[in-house]
Chains A and B, each alone.
Chain A
Amino acid sequence: MLRKTFESEIKQVKDDVLMLGSMVEQALVDAVEALKKRDIKAAEKIFQEDRAINGKRFEIENKLMVLIATQQPMAHDLRLLASCMEIISELERMGDYAKGIANINIRMGDAALLKPLIDIPRMAQKGADMLHRSLTAFVTEDVEAAKKIPIEDDEVDALYNQIYRELMTFIIQDPKNIERANWLLWVAHNLERFADRVTNICERTVFIATGEMAEIKSTDDEFWKKEHQEK
């Protein structure tokens, strides 16, 4: 077959993207686990994981550059390589959210959690699961799955809203809770952003497979539109 070498290099890049994705997924799970246990040592380890994530991202980016320069990809190959560039940057930022959670954990020092964590690990679980499946859809170019996964972002948003309301009641009850509630709010915010970026990965997958570059709308877009119109 023509272009055997190029084919195997493309496969290698896809494997690398998967590897980067699993590193990010692990970092997120570890960060929330460390927070749940208030384990500062474990939180510090996330910073190392993040450096490895960044290193992997640069390594893939470099490979992509070399492939584009030396193989002159066209059509599907071009869409794939250009999209990988985009996806690895999404993944790297998602790793930063995990690091952000670890950072909050460290800054909390020896303060106890405001409340036992229930919905936050749920959000993290959901986000990690969405990421995992979005990367499977990416590798197999499963357009149908790529279009469905972003809809699940609504569940993450619902959890976020629930956490927000809950933490507000703590704040209202006692202003001394403000700082500790704020920490958890930031954690939830990071998790919400994490899941949002899964949508971007899914959009790229649709683009790679079909060539159509379009936003996949989730219902929170509709929500914002409505809010905006009312004002």
Chain B
Amino acid sequence: MENTQTPEYSITTNDLSIHYGSYTAVKNVNMKVERQKVTAIIGPSGCGKSTLLRAFNRMNDFVPNCRVTGEILLRGQNLYSKDVDPVEARRRIGMVFQKPNPFPKSIYENIAWGARINGFKGNMDELVEQSLRGAALWDEVKDLLQKSAYELSGGQQQRLCIARTIAIQPEIILMDEPASALDPISTLRIEELMQELKKNYTIIIVTHNMQQAARASDYTAMMMIDEQRSGGVIEFDDTKKIFTNPKDKRTEDYVTGRFG
């Protein structure tokens, strides 16, 4: 399943801005998200990290008054052009949320359901197993597949949500604070999982936990608001660089815990 297609960037943004009515929440973002790497978005609360992440799979479509200007290119195709079906776009770009949100169904159905809706006609048992293995959950749940997903622990539920996401074979997985509701061990397990997942998928993660960004990501985008309270990417670089020798003084202050 190793994905070796070109181009080398999964997402490219050109002067991307996101507006709510007359207020610009995110301004002029130009970034290139490399394929099959983990890119972290960090920055203080209210700097537009989640807003930016949501723009990547058109989740902002649901927000009244929200307007996107500039471009988000997915392999060269503008995500916001009229001929793009947002439902199809969200199939290609999966999302995992802060709080695990499994369906009130069995573990098995949590994975099978989405795949079925998306017209999956193959061997469902195989897909369920493969997805659960991909999310490092199979060994823990293989004998409980018909049990309710709610019987799992928080960390297991989150991995189930990841399994559900990879069952529909997206290209990109967006993660919005995927471990902030989890205990430290479950957190490390999710971080380890990201290293496995990036062999096949591009991952973008929003996190408040700087150590997590440092441990788990290849690239880091630092966001900050300006005087108009618009968020922007002030520095984007190798994660190693951001945490050992950032260029921007504001990044330095943030990663060393002197601002935030």
Interface positions of A from 43 to 77, Cβ below 8 Å from B: 72-77
Complex: how many Å from CA A75 to CA B214? 11
Complex CA gap A136/B25 in Å reads 46
Which residues of chain B are within 8 angstroms of A112 by Cβ–Cβ distance? none
What are the residues of chain B within 8 A of A3 when measuring CB–CB? 256-258
Tell which of B245, B251, B260 touches A211, judged by Cβ atoms closer than 8 Å: B245
Give a binary string over A1-23; 1 marks a CB under 8 Å from any B CB, 0 the rest.
Answer: 11100100000000000000000
Tally of A-B Cβ pairs under 8 angstroms: 35
B207-260, CB < 8 A from A: 210-211, 214, 243-246, 251-252, 255-260
CB of A2 within 8 A of CB of B260, answer yes
With A and B bound together, what is the CA distance between A6 and B252 in angstroms?
15
Contact of B255 among A6, A75, A79, A211 (CB under 8 A): A75
> How many residues of chain B get a CB closer than 8 Å to chain A's CBs?
15
Contact flags A77-93 to B (C-beta < 8 A → 1, else 0): 11100000000000000
Complex Cα gap A74–B246 (Å)? 10
Q: Chain B residues with Cβ under 8 A from A2's Cβ?
A: 257-260
Smallest CB separation, B29 vs chain A (Å):
23
**Closest chain B residue, CB of each to CB of A6:** B257
Min C-beta distance of A97 to chain B, whole Å: 32
Count class of interface residues, chain A: 10 to 19
Contact of A77 among B210, B211, B256, B259 (CB under 8 A): B256
Which one of B211, B258, B259 has the highest number of Cβ atoms from chain A below 10 Å of its Cβ?
B258
Cα of A76 to Cα of B251 in the assembled complex, Å: 11
A75 pairs with B246, CB closer than 8 A: yes
Docked Cα-Cα span, A79 to B257, in Å, equals 15
CA of A32 to CA of B259 in the docked complex: distance in angstroms? Answer: 50
Query: What residues on B are CB-neighbors of A79 within 8 Å?
Result: 244-245
Is A211 a contact of B211 with CB atoms below 8 Å?
A: no
> Complex Cα distance A72/B259, Å?
15
CA distance A201 to B258 in the complex (A): 27
CB distance from B215 to the nearest CB of A (A): 11
B211 and A75 form a contact (CB under 8 A): no
* CA A118 to CA B240, docked complex, whole Å: 51
| Contact A74/B260 with A79-B245, A211-B244, A211-B245 known, Cβ cut-off 8 Å | no
Is there contact, CB below 8 Å, between A74 and B259? no
- Measured between alpha carbons, how far is A2 from B257 in the docked complex, in Å? 7
Q: Tell me the complex Cα distance, A73–B245, Å.
A: 12
Q: Is the CB of A1 within 8 A of B256?
A: no
Residues of A within 8 A of B214 (CB): 74
Chain B residues numbered 7-21 whose CB sits less than 8 Å from any CB in chain A: none
CA A1 – CA B256 in complex, angstroms? 13
* 8 Å CB contact of B211 from A1, A6, A72, A76: A72
Cβ-closest chain A residue relative to B247: A211
Contact mask B85-119 → A, CB, 8 Å, 1/0?
A: 00000000000000000000000000000000000
CB contacts (< 8 Å) of B260 on chain A: these are 2
B252 close to A78 (CB less than 8 A): no
27 A-B contact pairs sorted by A residue (CB < 8 Å): A2-B257, A2-B258, A2-B259, A2-B260, A3-B256, A3-B257, A3-B258, A6-B257, A72-B211, A73-B256, A74-B210, A74-B214, A74-B243, A74-B244, A74-B256, A74-B257, A75-B244, A75-B245, A75-B246, A75-B256, A76-B252, A77-B256, A78-B243, A78-B244, A79-B245, A211-B244, A211-B245
Please list the residues of chain B having a beta carbon within 8 angstroms of any beta carbon in chain A.
210-211, 214, 243-246, 251-252, 255-260
Using a CB–CB cutoff of 8 Å, the interface residues on chain A facing chain B are 1-3, 6, 72-79, 211
Per CB-CB distance, the 9 closest pairs between chain A and chain B, nearest first, are A211-B245, A74-B255, A74-B243, A3-B257, A75-B252, A77-B256, A74-B256, A75-B256, A75-B255
17 more A-B contacts (CB under 8 A) besides A73-B256, A75-B252, A211-B244?
A: A2-B257, A2-B258, A2-B259, A2-B260, A3-B256, A3-B258, A74-B210, A74-B214, A74-B243, A75-B244, A75-B251, A75-B256, A76-B252, A76-B256, A77-B256, A78-B243, A79-B244
